[in-house]
Chains A and B, each alone.
Chain A
Amino acid sequence: MNSYDVVIVGAGPAGMACAAEARQAGLSTLVLDEQPRPGGQIFRDIEVSDPGRRALLGKDYAEGARIAEAFRASGADYVSGAVVWNIDSAKRIDYSAGGRSHSVEAKSLVAATGAIERPTPMPGWTLPGVTTVGAAQILLKTSGIVFEDLVLVGSGPLLWLAASQMITAGVPPKAIVETVPKSRYRAAARHVLRALPGWRYLAKGFAMMRAVKRAGVPVHRDAEDIAIEGDSAATAVTFTSGSKRHRIETAHVALHQGVVPNQQMTRVMNCQHRFDESQRAFLPVLSEDFETTVPGVFVAGDGAGIGGAKSAAMRGRLVAMRIAETAGKPVSGERAKLRTALARDAAVRPLLEALYAPSDDVLSPADAVMVCRCEEITAGQIREAVALGAPGPNQVKSFLRAGMGPCQGRMCGLAVSEIIAAARGESPSTVDYYRIRPPLKPLLLSELAGLGAEAPREAAE
């Protein structure tokens, strides 16, 4: 079996920067990534996007090209289209690529699997034509596909970024329905002074909002009780704003309530997690050098807590420096500088987290709202299971099959933890999260059979 000093899962900014730094320190390095091309979601298709697309997507996107070039030039081994489906306690990684499974051993493992969008359960969110805002942006990045009737619903910087990119593309969204209550501005104001070192982010945010205003896109603020109408596909979105009920006809709705760490990999390795009240999400418990509670397992990028692409790349480099240090290599003189820059880049976060905290609508959906999309379990069924004595997500899973479909809880997990916590009058940190088991993604039996004579350990569960 192949063995590497460092195996990195994920080729976004964190994974790419980590690989380049690890190679510079002379460590043998393998990067496994699910996508056909490097970049992660933030720099999706960065290598194949033409100058026109890059100009449209903005300076921060174009910056990804430099990171991708350094990664390609680093000499790290890289497997695209690789789906990691198990990692055991000896840091043996089983993955599927090209229709068959492979195994590889890592001295150090870096989970650079980034973030996913927070679940946004609301009436009608399973209808065809409804996507996440991230999905709408991925369609623009990879294929130049835009919807002239797109209604953006929710809150967060990505909502405004997607809107301003669509405007630059010449196809502005039909409307923005923002769910930020007025009280959030007061909550966020407390953090303004601390956020000033991050003035560039604030300036970018204001510029995006100005672009939306200039383009004449209708913005409905302080929206609540959002529902998507439709029978076999979305036909309209309705909501209350300014104490009036509104209805906008559209076949395309994009939802967003911020991004949260993708925990699947650190959960399957039994790393400890904690619930972060400010980010309203579970984060892996990490050392100063981003090492998890499982020795030799690191998390770089947004998986360590949401910090954005710049922070992700810096964390990737810091992780590689730490691994090199442990292997007895001289520590790069840049480490102290990087740590300072990372702290400065994070200055704006408390303000963003307070302003764009998830809306009450999605944290406590009405009883009839479907929460687990795969197994079609409603919020009411989850509350009923709690009333019957289920103390946490794993018991709810046993009662109802919530989280047992093909997405394995990725789309409902946080919402289920929040609903149970609210019903029991506890914090999500007490009720905790689903236990995540291999395989991390469903795989074909033919892919498993191709693993070779040696049977995968721990994969039979």
Chain B
Amino acid sequence: MPQRIDTSGETVRFTFEGRDVEARAGETIAAALIASGETTTRASVVSGAPRGPFCMMGVCFECLVEIDGVPNRQACMIVAEPGMTVARQTADEVAA
């Protein structure tokens, strides 16, 4: 299981698939999801297989999610903001 070695600082809350997720202020959506035990962020385009954050630096596009209704957002590049509604991306939404 993931652990946080440091829980200091402010936190913000957003929802992922309707569930509350806590992020440390300034960290990315992907980091907060991983810390909460969530490793699956989208379905692959061709077979619909589950995928999750892989590179954490904006290169692999495996962490694509829908944020406040906008699809194809890179969860590892976007800082979590209070009240964001984040959802897993389904196969037909992925940009090509």
Where the two chains meet, the residues of A that have a C-beta atom closer than 8 Å to any C-beta of B are 34-36, 41, 48, 50, 52-53, 56, 116-117, 126-132, 134-135, 138-139, 142-149, 169-171, 232-233, 251-252, 262, 373-376, 404-407, 410-411, 441-442, 444
- Chain B residues within 8 Å of A145, by CB: 2-5, 31, 34-35
A146 touches B45 (CB 8 A): no
A410-B59 in contact (CB<8A): yes
Asked if residues A139 and B56 are in contact (CB atoms below 8 Å), the reply is yes
Known contacts A130-B54, A375-B46; decide if A404 and B96 are in contact (CB<8 Å). Answer: yes
* CB <8 Å contact, B52 and A147: no
Q: Could you tell me if B61 and A376 are in contact, using CB atoms closer than 8 angstroms?
A: no
Contact A373 B96 (CB under 8 A): no
Q: Does B62 contact A (CB under 8 A)?
A: yes
A406–B60 alpha-carbon span in the complex (Å):
8
Q: How far is the CB of B85 from chain A (nearest CB, A)?
A: 17
B91 to chain A, nearest CB (A): 11
The 10 closest A-B pairs by CB, nearest first: A128-B52, A135-B56, A144-B6, A406-B61, A128-B39, A376-B46, A138-B56, A128-B40, A144-B5, A442-B95
Number of interface residues of B (CB under 8 A): 44
- Residue with the greatest number of chain A CB neighbours at <10 A, chosen from B5, B53, B61: B5
Name which residue of chain B comes closest to A410, CB basis.
Answer: B59
Looking at the complex, which one of B3, B34, B58 makes contact with A148 (CB distance below 8 Å)?
B3
Q: A126-B44, A405-B96, A406-B95 are in contact. Are A146 and B54 (CB under 8 A)?
A: no
Query: Is the pair B47, A233 in contact by a Cβ cutoff of 8 Å?
Result: no
Residues of B within 8 A of A406 (CB): 61, 64, 72, 94-96
A441 to B57, CA, bound (A): 13
**Cβ B45 vs Cβ A375 within 8 A:** yes
Contact B28 A131 (CB under 8 A): no
Measured in the bound complex, the distance between the Cα atoms of B35 and A405 in whole Å is 28
> Which of B28, B60, B95, B96 has the largest count of A CB atoms less than 10 A from its CB?
B60
